[in-house]
Amino acid sequence: MECREKIGRRACTGTGARRRLSFGFFRLPGSASCARKSWEGVMLTKTATHFARLTEDGGKPLVYIDYLEVAPWNWRVRPLGLNGRLRGAGSILFREAVRQSIREGFHGRVGLHALPQAESYYERVCGMTVVGRDSRKQNLLYFEFSRGQARRFLDDGGAT
């Protein structure tokens, strides 16, 4: 099924579309998940300014997930009995970040700062390593994937 619904200036074209997204004057690498004629999630990544902190790959480049958001109609809100229309949109985007890292020659290395409500997801479901709180980023918890973790993540089918 093909998506053509426009959000802002961008049209969603094709299921699971991966696109370079333009926001204002900037052209940023990113991905979008599309299904059922609507946007299901969006992710922005950076590659030139972030480097691994884990000992195994310390100082080597990685894909940094600057922003990952799932459309509100896909949120699971248990107290309200809402399961979300499309489960796994965030996981699809996260897997795309790992694949982007491999394409860039970074061997699957990925880093991100997690909002408090997402910390357990990245640690338990994705299997990322907690590096620690970052006072330069509103004291958010910083997570990272080593090349070995990324390989296991993809081999196991990733987060679902």
Q: Which domains does the chain have, with CATH numbers?
A: 6-155 (3.40.630.30)
Query: Which residues fall within 8 angstroms of residue 117, CB to CB, at 6 or more apart?
Result: none
Q: What is the DSSP letter of 51?
A: B
Collapsed DSSP state (helix, strand, coil) of residue 137: helix
pLDDT tens for each residue of 84-118? 888 888 888 899 999 999 999 999 999 999 999 99
The number of C-alpha atoms within 13 Å of 158 and in the hemisphere containing its C-beta is 14
From CA 16, how far away is CA 36, in angstroms rounded? Answer: 10
pLDDT at 61 over 50: yes
What is the model's pTM? 0.77
pLDDT tens for each residue of 26-41? 444 555 555 556 778 8
- Mean pLDDT over each residue of the chain, to the nearest integer: 80
pLDDT tens for each residue of 106-160? 999 999 999 999 999 999 989 999 999 999 999 999 999 999 999 999 998 766 5
